Chains A and B, each alone.
Chain A
Amino acid sequence: GENVEQHPSTLSVQEGDSAVIKCTYSDSASNYFPWYKQELGKGPQLIIDIRSNVGEKKDQRIAVTLNKTAKHFSLHITETQPEDSAVYFCAASRINNDMRFGAGTRLTVKP
């Protein structure tokens, strides 16, 4: 089955710096790659997603890149703010949101 690896497990940056989180997946049939942000005591919330027919997608300070050949995708957050501090999960899905998640990255943005 699908296996999603995520790195790093923790990431600490200064406010204003960029943060990059990387994921790899194993199932070449996966074609949907969402990123979720999870704040303490809450469920995961979608922040950006990308489909396999696109190499890059950007939404304000957040961007995601996808390399299908290498089976990896990355989340880039620019100009980080303290409120970006949370756990971020990548996921890969083949059909119907049968998402397999990465292990998560705890991002801390220091003021």
Chain B
Amino acid sequence: EPEVTQTPSHQVTQMGQEVILRCVPISNHLYFYWYRQILGQKVEFLVSFYNNEISEKSEIFDDQFSVERPDGSNFTLKIRSTKLEDSAMYFCASTAQGGNTEAFFGQGTRLTVV
């Protein structure tokens, strides 16, 4: 069964450093998303991406965050200068079409900022 894959599974970084989280969405999907989940809290929407541009973003997705689809398969989330409060599980998701349809989530990248 096709799945969304994320790498790395765990990333530890120093405060102030840049990190790039990587995702390979399901191959025929066209819409891509990033969510995050701070430990023990709810899953929060960050951004949606379609046709090489951001469709929607939440208030969390500030100038420190950026997304990119550098090639035909990868979808990345970059955090420019990490803060302690960026520590969370980051989930990538993809859907085959727009509107509201089933989103397939990856297994997540646990980011720890020290």
Footprint of B on A, CB under 8 Å? 1, 31-32, 34, 36, 41-46, 49, 51, 89, 91, 93, 95-104
Contact = CB atoms under 8 A, between A and B. Distances in A.
A95 B105 CA distance: 18
Interface residues of B, number: 29
Interface of B: 4, 31, 33, 35, 41-45, 48, 50, 55-56, 58-59, 91, 93, 95, 98-108
Given A97-B33, A99-B45, A46 B103 contact: yes
Contacts of A101: 35, 42-45
Please indicate which of the listed interface residues B35, B100, B103 has the most CB atoms of chain A within 10 Å of its own CB: B100
A102 B41 CA distance: 9
A41 B95 contact: no
- Across the A-B interface, the 3 shortest Cβ-Cβ residue pairs: A43-B105, A32-B100, A101-B43
A97 B43 contact: no
Given A36-B105, A49-B102, A97-B95, 9 more contacts: A43-B105, A95-B56, A97-B93, A98-B56, A98-B58, A99-B103, A101-B44, A103-B41, A103-B42
